[in-house]
Structure 1
């Protein structure tokens, strides 16, 4: 990691903290030495970043460096907060971490009065999710993003295991479970698969022959026509 990138990561991490954080914790987060943290803090200060604190006490960013205030009303703030709370609850570690990061960035760009409103917001999204293998979740999202085929061993409601090659194009979050929408080469039709029932998954490098948006449109037509 270059030093300029490291400084950006340090600045972002300080933005995410509501209380002073020690140099030791910063060093562990950035995987650098404590001495490097002190040097980087001084470099940011030299560039005009208002970082308060000292050795043994901890450091805190006292103003939003280079970030203009964001114009959101109270209902918009509550909507974003509730959506992020929901995203933080789903069994997907990458999206949980991303939701936490987005919430921290939202706090950083809001004016002081709106920050106080956000900190006093207590809307909660309560969900109980079925456990899912995090490797499966990550590989499914990668496959959808890259539009590549996956191979899975899937166990159905009758406890029968089948081997499938799929074209995954959408991932849905329904009540307590995550559902994958895909074209199934075995059935030659669209099928929905619960992620918690996928026993094994192989992410291939083979791009499937249609755009995922076209597959999604066809899937919607089929689902709505059957409802």
Structure 2
């Protein structure tokens, strides 16, 4: 990791903490030494960052010097907070971490009078999800992003397991479950797969032959009005 990237990552971590955070915690999050943290803090200060140090408590970013203020009304702020809060409950650690990062960035760019509203908003979205392998969920998102085929062992309603080669192009978050929309080579058609029923998954290096947007549009036209229950 280059030092410039490390400095940006450190700045982002400081944004995420509303209270002082120790050099030890920052070092563990960034996987660097505490000595490097202290050096990087001084570098950021020299570049204009207002970072306070409290003895025994740690460091706190008081004013973000990189991001300009943006304007949002009360309803827009509530909508964003509600959506990001919902992300904190989904079984996907990467998206949970991303929601925390986005909230910290938002707090950094809002005018002071809007920051207070952001911190005081009490709208909440709470979901209870069926247990899934969070690493597997992240793999599915990665496959969709990269538009590569995946190989899965899938258990249907009767617990019959079949091996499939899929072209994953969309994920749907439905109440208590996550559903994958994909083209199934075995069935030669669109199918829906509950993530909690995928027993094993491996990423292929092979791109599927269409863009995910094209597959999504075809699926939307043919399947969106049908039930999203598993029909495999």
Question: Could you state the TM-score of these two structures normalised by the residue count of structure 1?
Answer: 0.95
Q: Which residue of 2 aligns with 1:34?
A: 34
Deviations 1:2-33 (A, max 9, x none): 22222211111111111111222222222222
Shift of 1:54: 4.5
Matched, 1:135 2:135: yes
Q: Which residue of 1 aligns with 2:84?
A: 84
Q: Distance in 2 between matches of 1:125 and 1:16?
A: 21
8 Å CA contact retained: 1:23, 1:55: no
Matched, 1:193 2:193: yes
Q: Which residue of 2 aligns with 1:213?
A: 213
What is the alpha-carbon root mean square deviation over aligned residues?
1.4
Deviations 1:87-112 (A, max 9, x none): 12111111111011101111111111
Shift of 1:51: 1.1
What is the total number of aligned residue pairs between the two structures? 227
**SS of corresponding position for 1:168:** strand
Consecutive unaligned residues in structure 2, runs of 5 or more: 228-232
Q: Distance in 1 between matches of 2:151 and 2:66?
A: 46
Question: Could you state the TM-score of these two structures normalised by the residue count of structure 2?
Answer: 0.93
Runs of 4+ in 1 over 4 A off after TM superposition: 224-227
1:54-133 counterparts in 2 under 5 A?
54-133=54-133
Q: Against the structure 1 CA distance between its residues 226 and 4, is the aligned structure 2 distance closer, same or farther, given a 3 Å change threshold?
A: closer
Q: Which residue of 2 aligns with 1:204?
A: 204
More displaced stretch, 27-36 vs 212-221: 27-36
Q: Which residue of 2 aligns with 1:50?
A: 50
Q: Distance in 2 between matches of 1:224 and 1:137?
A: 22
Shift of 1:34: 2.1
Q: Distance in 2 between matches of 1:105 and 1:180?
A: 30
Q: Distance in 1 between matches of 2:135 and 2:44?
A: 37
More displaced stretch, 173-182 vs 137-146: 137-146
Q: Which residue of 2 aligns with 1:157?
A: 157
Consecutive unaligned residues in structure 1, runs of 5 or more: none
Q: Distance in 1 between matches of 2:226 and 2:55?
A: 66
**SS of corresponding position for 2:125:** coil
More displaced stretch, 137-146 vs 34-43: 34-43
Shift of 1:188: 1.0
Deviations 1:26-56 (A, max 9, x none): 2222222222222222222122211111453
